[in-house]
A and B are shown apart, each in its own frame.
Chain A
Amino acid sequence: MIGSLLSNAGVWMPLAWLFVLVVTWAIVYYIRSRGEARYHKDTEQVRPFLAGHPETSKAAMHVRASNEYWGFMEALKGYYHPLIKGHTGNLNDYICWFICILAIVLVLVISVGV
């Protein structure tokens, strides 16, 4: 049975949302269908706009996914740089980190438990 998802403090019924979405979708589609649909296929019109420059190669024009979070990395430099430094690739270092964190967690658990 599909019903509402209940927590103690709220409710969420996906089917109701989907139903409403279908209605709004239909209206939006109607608005869209009132517009002009034509354009000139296979002409210069469909080339990408690069400030008037010709497209040299698709690969060169592609913005790579590695740039995706540039803004984030740039703003949170102070957090990421020490993290990257910590990743030395040396297994001993990782195990050292693991043991340190484990010790801290144990201390926390024991101190709270007592």
Chain B
Amino acid sequence: MFILRFVVAPIIAILGAIFVGLIIMGIDRILAARMQSRVGPPLRQPFWDVKKLMIKENIIPENAISWLFNAAPVICLAVVSTILLYLPLAGFSPILAAHGDLIVVVYLLILPALAKVIGGFASGSPFASVGAQREMVMMMSYEFPLAIIAVSVAWLLSKVHPSLDAFSLQAIATHPVWGLVKGPLGIVGLILLLVSLLVVTPGELSVIPFDLPDAPTEIVGGVLAEYSGRNYALFYLASAVKLVVLPSLLIAIFFPYGISGLFNVGAAAAGVIDVVFFLVKLFVILFFSVTCVHVLAARLKIDQLVNTYFMAMTAVSLVGLVLIVLDAAI
């Protein structure tokens, strides 16, 4: 049991997340291309990209602090895949449910961004330094709304079910938040929280309009400017795994429903149906909060980004929190 939980599960999680993430990345690229009336790359293109990066030379610039420069991508991918083990995926309870909760997930979400910051500063290139600084400012900005969302959801759960562990993601997923509020005020509050989490998602994934840390046309790839070969491939894979992690968190909090109950099938078939439905949900969320947005929008300036997250999204999520509290009080 120990081996299964601590060795086999992480291996399956990381390999599965890489596979699913790269496929989602491929779909995203195709859809983005279709929206620009292009044909787009084949679905397997991200796999080919990674395979190609693995045979390229792995340059370590002379100004770089080499051990930090090499460690940053490894940390980034390793940490981002551990987050998956704390999330309830496809209706199954989290593998490490007894060892961590929503607060841990919120904190662990900082680490991949921090790894990019380390990598950027360790590159010893002015472009990478600017990228790392932007990443840091961005990280500080979106943490605030994310924390408010976590607190609101846990408060709501603890109010309705005082006996449960309010921050436990399993408890949150088995008691969908939409059923916990009483009236329209609470529903509006939850929708505001959902909107702010949907806006935080592209920021965490650093895609346009929030791709300031690696703005290609502006600071030549920013954090990634000096990375090549296998180090860059690891960052590429980490961004693919993030494409699975962030929507999974959103699904666990706001849409933890399964449809296997509608079908009269055995346990194994129900599991398969739930996994497929989960992937569909994942994909729909990414389509609306990432693909559509990055086709439609242009890159924000760094002060506009801070305004968006630190002011606007914090305000939106705070209003959501207040509405939920009012709803419970009335």
| A/B touching: CB–CB < 8 A | yes
Which residues of B line the A interface, CB within 8 A? Answer: 6-7, 10-11, 13-15, 53-63, 73-74, 77-79, 81-82, 85, 96, 98-104, 108, 123-127, 129-130, 133-134, 136-137, 140-141, 154, 158, 165-168, 220, 225-226, 229-231, 233-234, 237, 302-307, 310-311
- A114 lies within 8 A of chain B by Cβ: no
- A69 lies within 8 A of chain B by Cβ: yes
Bound: A12/B101 CA distance, A: 7
Are A71 and B99 closer than 8 Å at their CB atoms? no
Bound: A47/B63 CA distance, A: 8
Residues of B within 8 A of A31 (CB): 77, 233-234, 237
23 contacts between A and B (CB under 8 A): A4-B98, A11-B168, A20-B85, A20-B96, A23-B6, A23-B7, A25-B74, A29-B74, A31-B237, A35-B53, A36-B55, A37-B58, A39-B57, A46-B61, A47-B62, A49-B220, A49-B225, A51-B220, A61-B126, A70-B137, A71-B134, A71-B305, A72-B306
Contact partner, A46, options B62, B98, B102, B237, Cβ 8 Å: B62
Contact partner, A35, options B54, B98, B302, Cβ 8 Å: B54
Are B230 and A36 closer than 8 Å at their CB atoms? yes
Could you tell me the dominant secondary structure of chain B's interface residues?
helix
Q: Chain B's nearest CB lies how many Å from the CB of A81? A: 14
Residues of A within 8 A of B78 (CB): 21, 24-25, 27-28
Q: Chain A's nearest CB lies how many Å from the CB of B163? A: 11
Residues of B within 8 A of A39 (CB): 57-60, 229
Known: A16-B100, A70-B302. A76 touches B79 (CB 8 A): no
Count the A residues whose beta carbon is within 8 Å of the partner chain — how many? 47
Known: A35-B53, A63-B133, A76-B306. A24 touches B58 (CB 8 A): no
Are B233 and A35 closer than 8 Å at their CB atoms? yes
Bound: A76/B141 CA distance, A: 11
Are B104 and A72 closer than 8 Å at their CB atoms? no
Are A35 and B133 closer than 8 Å at their CB atoms? no
Are B14 and A27 closer than 8 Å at their CB atoms? yes
